[in-house]
Amino acid sequence: MMKHIIIIIFVMLTALSLAFSIANSFASESKAVKSDLSESDTDIKLKELRNKIDVINQEILVLLNARAEVVLEIGELKKGNSMEVYDPAREKEIENKLMRINTGPLPNESVIKIFREIISACRALE
pLDDT tens string 32-54 = 555 556 678 899 999 999 999 99
Q: Which domain range does residue 120 map to? A: 2-23+48-125
Predicted model pTM = 0.66
**SS3 sequence, the chain?**
CHHHHHHHHHHHHHHHHHHHHHHHHHHHHHHCCCCCCCHHHHHHHHHHHHHHHHHHHHHHHHHHHHHHHHHHHHHHHHHHCCCCCCCHHHHHHHHHHHHHHCCCCCCHHHHHHHHHHHHHHHHHHC
Res. 11: pLDDT tops 60: no
User: Phi and psi of 107, rounded to 5°?
Assistant: -70, 155
Residue 32 included in any domain: no
Which CATH number goes with the domain that contains 8?
A: 1.20.59.10
Domain count, the chain: 1
